[in-house]
Chain A
Amino acid sequence: MSTPPTQASAADASPFDGGARWPLTLLAGSALVWLVVGSLLALLTGIQLHTPSFLADCSALTHGRAQAWRETAFLYGWAGNAGVGLGLWILGRLGGHPLRALNWAVVGTVFWNLGLLFGLIGIATGSMTGFAGLQLPRAVQPVLVAAFCAMALPGVLAWAGRKREGTYAAQWYAAAALFLLPWFWTATQAVLLWSPLRGVVQTVAASWHAQSVVALWLMPLALAAAYYVIPKQTGKLLPGYDSAPLAFWTLIVVGSWTFGRHLIGGPVPAWIPTMAVVAQCLLLFHFLVIWLNFRGAFAGGSVTLQYMRFGLVAYLLTGLAETITSFRGIAVHTQFTLFGPALEALLLQGALSMFLFGGLVHQLPRVTGRHWALPSFVSGHASLVMLGVVVSVLSLGWAGLAQDALLNHSQTPFAEILVQLKMPLLLHSAGQFALLAGNVLLLVAFLRSALSCCQAEGASVLRPASSAS
C-alpha cells in the first residue's frame, strides 16, 4: 500500500511532459476523430432502429455492419486511444521520470489506427468475424495486438522504472490495463480465429472477451484517469482511499466473470450465468469503494469535475442495474430487448466516455502547455453529451420496457412492435444527435488548441496552464 495522493495545485505543468507532447496529442487527436466517426455511426444505427430501410440497402451499411463499425470505432478507436494516452501520461507523471521509448508509442499509434481503418474497411466489405465486440477482420487483429504492445511500452517502462517506492491507485489501474489486454486478446484470438473451439464454446469465449475489453482494459484506464484527476482538481485527499486496493483487485479478479448475464437461458452451461450473478454481487463492493473514493468530485465546479461526477453516477447506476438484471427473474423481462443497449450506453457513453472526457480536458492543457483554445466549446460539449446520454439511455430503457410487454409476453408481430416503439426510438436518435454535435464541438476545440500550440512552437510554450479545465 501506498501514501494517499497528495494534493496538488491545478497549475502543475510538469517538465516531464515536454517530450511527450506530440505522442500524447496524437493519441488524443486520433481518439477524438474516432469518437466523431463512432457518434456518426451511432446516429445512423439509431435511425435504422426506427426506420429500418435507412441506408440499409447499401451493402456496407446494413444495420449489422453499421453496428459493428460503431462498436469498433467506439471501443478500439475512441476509448482505446484516449485511454492509452491518459494511461501513459499518468504512469509517466506518477513514475517520476519523463516517459521513455515514446518513438515506440508513436509507431504503435500509427499502426493501431491504420489497423482500425483497414479493419473497418474489412467490415464494410464482408470480412467481419461475427463475434460481438470482436468484429474486426481476423487479418488485422494480430497487427493491432502488436501495435498495442508498442503503444504501451512507455507506460510499462515508466511503471517498471518508477522512482518512488509507493504507488497510487491511478498507477495500478493504468498498469493493469496496459499489461492485460495483449495477454487476453492473444488468448481469445487463438481460440476463436486460429484454432476455433467447437460450437457454443466460441460464444462463451467471445462474450468473455467482450466483457474483458471493458472490465479489464477500458474501464481500468478510465478509472485511472478519474483517480488521478479528481484529487488534482479538488485539491483534497480521496476519502476512503485505504479500501482502493480491494476495489482494484475485486474488479480485476471478478470483473470478467460477469459476461454470463447475457447468456441466461441460452445453450451454454448453466453455471456461467450463475457465476455472473455471484460476480455482479461481489462487484457491488467495487462500486461502493469507487463511490467512497470519488464522492469528493461533487464539491468542485470545474468542467472536468462535471464530467467525473456524471461518469461516477453513471458507473454506479450501471453497476446496480446490471446486478439486478443478472437475476433470472428479471432477465426474463429484459433479455433480448433494447434494455441491454440502454445499459451498454449508460456504461460506455455515460461512465467510460465521461471519465475519459474529464481526463482529456484536464490532460491536454498540461501536455501542450496552453489553455483550451475554445473553452466555451468544451463546456458546450459537456452539456450536450450529458443531455445526449440521459435522453438516449432513458429512451432506450423505455423502448426496452415496452418491448418486454410486446415481445416476451404476447405475440405481437414485429412490424407492429416497431410502430409502437417509434416514439422512444425517435427520442433515442435525438439523443445520439446531441452526442454527435457535442463531440464535433470537442474535436473542433481540440484542433484549434493543437493548431495554436503548433504555431507557437519554437517559442517557449511550456508555461503553467491554469484551470481552463
Chain B
Amino acid sequence: MKNRPLFLFGLFLAVLTSWAGFVLGSHGQLGSLTPFFDEADGQSHPARLPGLAARGQAVYADLGCAACHTQQVRRPGFGSDQARGWGERQSVARDYIFHAQPQLGASRLGPDLMNLAGRKPQAPSAEELHRLLYTGSAAHPAFPFLYETREIAGEASRQAVRLTGAAAPKAGSEVVATERAQTLVAYLLNVNSGFEYPEARPLPAQSPASPEAKK
C-alpha cells in the first residue's frame, strides 16, 4: 500500500464497480419499464394512482408504516403470502412504476399491504380502515392525531367516522378524518396488483423429465 494514487484508485474503482453494477445495472434493466397494454380490456396496467392516493403515499412514508408492513407479495410457495389472501401472484417491478417512492418494507409485524383492495376473501372498506386508524386494535396502534374531533355544527358530516362504545365522541361531537387520513386510506385502497402480467405468471412446475430429455 505504498502507492498512494493506486490505493485511492483502487477504492474508487471498487465502489464505482459496485454502485454502477447494482444501481445503474438495475436501472438499465428496469428503468424503462412501460405499462402493459392489454388488448382484451383495452386498458394499460398498472394505472396511475389517482391524485388523492398518490399524495397518500407520502403520508405512508413519513409515518414510517413500512417499519411493520411490507408491500411485496412473494411467489407461491414462498411463505403464506397466497394462503393469507395477500395476492394471487408475486409482485413484479412493473407494479411499482407509478409509485413515487416504493415502500417494499422488510418486516411483517403487520400484514402485507400490496394488494389491500384485492384482499381475499374480503377487502376492508374505507370506513373500517378509518376506524382501525383512529381506535387501533390489539396489534395495531391508534393514530388519533390523523383525526379531528369537533362540535357538530348544523348537520353531521357524512365523512364522520362511525364509532361505538368507549371510542365514540361525546354527544354533539364527531370524529372526522383529516386530509392526511383521507389520502392515506385512499392510497391503501388503490395499491392494487390484480392484473396478471406475462412476467408475473409462475413458472410451470418442472416435471422430472423435461421435454428436451424426451427428445
**Is the Cβ of A267 less than 8 Å from the Cβ of B142?**
no
From A190-198, A229-237, A428-436, the one touching the partner chain is: A190-198
- The prevalent SS among residues of A at the interface is helix
A176 CB contacts on chain B under 8 angstroms: 11
B141/A272 in contact, CB under 8 A? no
Q: Is A48 an interface residue (CB 8 A)?
A: yes
B141 touches A48 (CB 8 A): yes
Map CB proximity to B onto A243-287 as digits: 1 under 8 Å, 0 otherwise: 001000100111011010011011111001001000000000000
Whether A62 and B26, one on each chain, are in contact in the complex, defined by CB atoms closer than 8 angstroms, is no
* Nearest-neighbor residue (CB-CB) of B4 within chain A: A160
A457 within 8 A of B: no
Check: B192 CB closer than 8 A to any chain A CB. Answer: no
Interface string of B77-105 (1 = CB under 8 A from A): 01110011000001111011111111111
Please report the C-alpha to C-alpha distance between residue A191 and residue B136 in the assembled complex, in whole angstroms.
37
- CB neighbours of A49 from chain B (8 A): 109
Among the listed stretches B60-68, B148-156, B157-165, B205-213, which one makes contact with chain A, having 4 or more residues with CB under 8 Å of it? B60-68
Which residue of B64, B110, B136 contacts A414 across the interface (Cβ within 8 Å)? Answer: B110
Q: How far is the CB of A328 from chain B (nearest CB, A)?
A: 9
- B residues 12-59 in Cβ contact with A at 8 Å: 12, 14-15, 17-19, 22-23, 25-27, 29-31, 33
B214 in the interface (beta carbon within 8 A): no
Q: Which residue of B lies closest to A254 (CB)?
A: B18
A141 to chain B, nearest CB (A): 15
Contact pick for B93, options A65, A131, A200, A253, CB 8 Å: A200
Residues A167 and B64 in contact in the complex (CB < 8 Å), given A199-B93, A269-B30? no
Does A332 sit at the interface, judged by CB under 8 A? yes
For this complex, into which size category does the number of interface residues on chain B fall? 35 or more
How close is A18's CB to chain B, nearest CB, in angstroms?
A: 28
Report how far A252 CA is from B1 CA in the complex, Å. Answer: 14
Task: Tell me the bound Cα distance from A259 to B105 in angstroms.
Answer: 14
A267 pairs with B72, CB closer than 8 A: yes
| Docked-complex contact B140 and A52, CB < 8 angstroms | yes
Q: Which residues of B contact A180 (CB under 8 A)?
A: 11, 15
Q: Is the CB of B90 within 8 A of A265?
A: yes
Complex CA–CA separation, A203 to B8 (angstroms): 29
Shortest distance from the beta carbon of A376 to any chain B beta carbon, whole Å:
38
B13 to chain A, nearest CB (A): 9
Where the two chains meet, the residues of A that have a C-beta atom closer than 8 Å to any C-beta of B are 1-2, 48-49, 52-53, 56-59, 62-68, 126-132, 135, 160, 165-167, 172, 175-176, 179-180, 183-184, 187, 191, 196-205, 208, 212, 216, 245, 249, 252-254, 256-257, 259, 262-263, 265-269, 272, 275, 332, 335-338, 340-341, 407-411, 414-415, 417-419
Known: A57-B144, A199-B98, A336-B70. 11 other contacts (CB 8 A): A126-B62, A128-B64, A130-B62, A130-B66, A132-B106, A180-B11, A191-B23, A199-B33, A254-B18, A337-B107, A409-B79
Residue contacts A-B, CB under 8 angstroms, 9 given: A52-B138, A53-B136, A59-B145, A187-B23, A197-B27, A199-B97, A201-B31, A252-B11, A267-B93
